[in-house]
Amino acid sequence: GNSVTQMEGPVTLSEEAFLTINCTYTATGYPSLFWYVQYPGEGLQLLLKATKADDKGSNKGFEATYRKETTSFHLEKGSVQVSDSAVYFCALSEGGGSYIPTFGRGTSLIVHP
C-alpha cells in the first residue's frame, strides 16, 4: 500500500533561518504529492502540490520538487518567519477511483523571534 514518511519534529528555528522538512513516499502508481499546513485549532489547508515528476510546487516562499528517482518531496523555505510556526503534513493521492489522501505523521515547526 501507499505510505508517507516525514522527519519527526519538533523543528525549532530562529527567524530568517533556512528550513528543510524531509518527506519520502511509497506508492504503487504515479501519485500527486502535497504539502498541507495546520495552524493551531484549525483544519489542514493546502500549501503546495506537484502532480508529476520534476514538477516544483511553490507558495508563500515554500518550495518542494517531485523527485521520482528518490521518491521524495522535501519542503524548503529560505527564510522562515514566526508566522510559519505550524504543523506540516506531506501527503500523496492517487487516482484509480477513490483519490484517498495518505498523510505523513506531521512535523511541528516552531520559529522563535
Please report, as ranges, the residues that interact with other proteins according to CB under 8 A: 32, 34, 36, 41-46, 49, 51, 89, 91, 93, 95, 97-101, 103-106
Minimum CB separation from other proteins for residue 16, in Å? 28
**Residue 64: CB partners within 8 Å, gap ≥ 6?**
23, 33, 35, 48, 50, 56, 57, 58, 73, 74, 75, 76
Closest CA to 20 of 7, 5, 4: 7
Rank residues 46 and 53 by Cβ distance to other proteins and give the closer one.
46
Rank residues 3 and 14 by Cβ distance to other proteins and give the closer one.
3
Minimum CB separation from other proteins for residue 44, in Å? 5
Neighbouring C-beta atoms of residue 45, cutoff 10 Å:
10
Rank residues 56 and 105 by Cβ distance to other proteins and give the closer one.
105
